[in-house]
Amino acid sequence: MYLFKLLAICLLYHTCRAKEEDILEFGDSDFDSRLAEHETALVMFYAPWCGHCKRLKPEYAKAAEDLIRNDPPVALVKVDCTEAGKETCNKNSVSGYPTLKIFEVVNFHKNIMVHEEAAGIVKYMKAQVGPSSKELKTAKCLEKFLDAEKESALVGFFEKESDLKAAFLKVANKLREKVRFAHTSYEELLTKQGINVKYEGKADSDDISKFITKSFHGLAGHRKPDNKQDFENPVVIAYYNVDYVKNPKGKVNFAVSSKDEFQNELNEYGLDYVKGDKPVVVARDAKGQKFILKDEFSVEALEVFVNDVLDGNLEPYLKSEPIPESQNEPVKVAVAKNFDEVVVNNGKDTLIEFYAPWCGHCKKLAPAYDELAEKLKNEDIAIVKMDATANDVPPTFDVRGFPTLYWAPRDSKDTPIRYEGGREADDFLKYIAKHATEELKGYDRKGNPKSEKTEL
């Protein structure tokens, strides 16, 4: 009999004091030599002025304190691309900040997604070292494996080599960055096993993956910074200071998140720090619109809230700056509350920049963007900007960094085109002249100024 089980471990909060000294700092003079001293290292290439880097820094320090004690250990390194590490950053093709790369003793390196929380960095890096599935030989090994991380794990129990074991190990290789895997064929563990959730499907890796997806978070999963992408819309979230709560699951997903871990997300719903023991409940519908349970939490209030969200009976919450009193400048200002008016229903081809006030690249772009708007102020073209940190961005515009620019033709605003061209005024002008729905009055399709006609 071949069994493996999903073991739901009690979810506990781990707090530790981050130590800045646990992060190593290399430069051009010692990067290669010092990196060679570590079997596995995660390197953050950064710029001191970068807002994303500043927010990541304390989480990176927390992760360093954890990973330095890992078996095998992982070194966390930082390189300043504006000073002592300029040449190193160029050599490693660093084009934006922060850039994180994994380096191993065999000199292999690769980019990784920037995790915003220490837990995400730690989990990702631990998945990169050692086998994808740990072999367990004693009950003590199993206990240590389960206690090492306070989260779900997948354990395979196999009496002998089999197609099921091969499929299990294939899934482990595929999902090692998301799930912790272990397996055993030792008699002591086969006879003492206790099954929480038992797989009874075929020896097929796709079926095993589906089983994991379905079972991993239970009826109401513990939503954390490193797994929040697993909870797809429509979803109802209770921000609450408990470890784990189960709720009936039906038409929508349910999740429980820590108030403290997700304070930044609560701010996206206009909620400042919330005291007290009552959960704060929010939801997103299938369109990604946001809703807040305004009544005091109770089972009855939650049921009414969920049904109202599903039936479309509630006004969605929109994070927005105030609508500008005037729009006299060539570059128009969009906020969430006037986005449809300024961008979607303006009857014009539109170039829109999504920016952050602290972004260095955005500040560098501003003069060229203003120059472009001045050149096109008499054209039927809208040049628009929006602070994406202070306003909800419509889901049709995928903004993951700053600045992000989109070209939105007047008759197809539902399918905007990401602008990937140069960022000088003439670069923008040539692009707009070529792609405008109608030819510009003052420029030909190549962006050259039209000569004035002399009246006879």
- CA dist., res. 418 & res. 346, Å (int): 19
Q: What is the Cα 164 distance to its own chain's centre?
A: 34
List, in sequence order, the alpha helices (H) in 68-160. Answer: 86-91, 118-128, 139-148
DSSP assignment of 190-216: HHH---SSB--S-S-HHHHHHHHHHHT
Catalytic residue among 16, 81, 89, 359: 359
Judge whether 359 counts as a catalytic residue. yes
Strands (E), 251-363: 253-257, 280-284, 290-292, 332-333, 349-355
Looking at residue 363, its amino acid is K
The partner residues of 157 in beta bridges, in order of sequence, read 3, 184
Q: What is the pLDDT along the chain (456 residues), one digit of tens a residue?
A: 233 333 222 222 233 334 567 899 999 999 999 988 888 889 999 999 998 899 888 889 988 888 887 777 889 999 999 989 999 999 988 888 998 888 876 545 555 555 567 777 877 787 777 788 888 888 888 888 877 766 678 888 888 888 998 999 998 888 877 788 889 888 777 776 655 567 778 888 888 888 877 777 766 677 777 678 778 888 887 776 644 444 344 567 788 888 878 888 888 888 887 777 788 899 998 888 999 999 988 889 988 999 999 899 999 999 999 999 999 999 999 999 999 999 999 999 999 999 999 999 999 999 999 999 999 999 999 999 999 999 999 989 999 889 999 999 998 888 999 999 999 999 999 999 999 999 999 999 999 998 765 333
Catalytic residue among 10, 16, 53, 81: 53
Catalytic residue among 10, 16, 50, 89: 50
- CA dist., res. 86 & res. 99, Å (int): 13
Handedness of CA 190, 191, 192, 198 (dihedral sign): positive
- Domain 131-215 coded CATH 3.40.30.10: yes
Residue 249's pLDDT is 42
Asked if 392 and 318 count as a contact pair (C-beta separation under 8 A), the reply is: yes
Claim: this prediction has a pTM higher than 0.85: no
- CA dist., res. 344 & res. 394, Å (int): 10
Among 311, 411, 341, 330, which Cα is nearest to 368's? 330
Q: How many CB atoms lie within 10 A of CB 40?
A: 18
Cβ neighbours for 340, distance < 8 A, ≥ 6 positions apart: none
CATH superfamily to which 20-128 belongs:
Glutaredoxin (3.40.30.10)
Residue 363's pLDDT is 95
Class of domain 220-311 as given by CATH: alpha beta
- What is the residue whose two structure tokens read 């539902």? 414
Residue 1's pLDDT is 29
Q: CATH 3.40.30.10 residue ranges in the chain? A: 20-128, 131-215, 220-311, 332-435
Specify the long-range contacts of residues 430-434, CB closer than 8 Å, at least 24 apart.
431/407, 432/349, 432/351, 432/376, 432/381, 432/407
Judge whether 50 counts as a catalytic residue. yes
Cβ neighbours for 348, distance < 8 A, ≥ 6 positions apart: 380, 381, 382, 410
Judge whether 362 counts as a catalytic residue. yes
Handedness of CA 448, 449, 450, 453 (dihedral sign): negative
Tokens read off for 137: 């030989």
Among 364, 251, 247, 347, which Cα is nearest to 297's? 247
Residue 185's pLDDT is 86
CATH superfamily to which 332-435 belongs:
Glutaredoxin (3.40.30.10)
- CA dist., res. 109 & res. 74, Å (int): 14
Q: What is the Cα 364 distance to its own chain's centre?
A: 26
Tokens read off for 204: 């097929």
Cβ neighbours for 146, distance < 8 A, ≥ 6 positions apart: 7, 9, 153
DSSP code at position 453: P
Asked if 254 and 236 count as a contact pair (C-beta separation under 8 A), the reply is: yes
At 450, which helix (H) or strand (E)?
none
DSSP three-state, residue 394: coil
At 57, which helix (H) or strand (E)?
helix 51-67
Residue 437's pLDDT is 95
Residue 270's pLDDT is 87
Tokens read off for 402: 């700053």
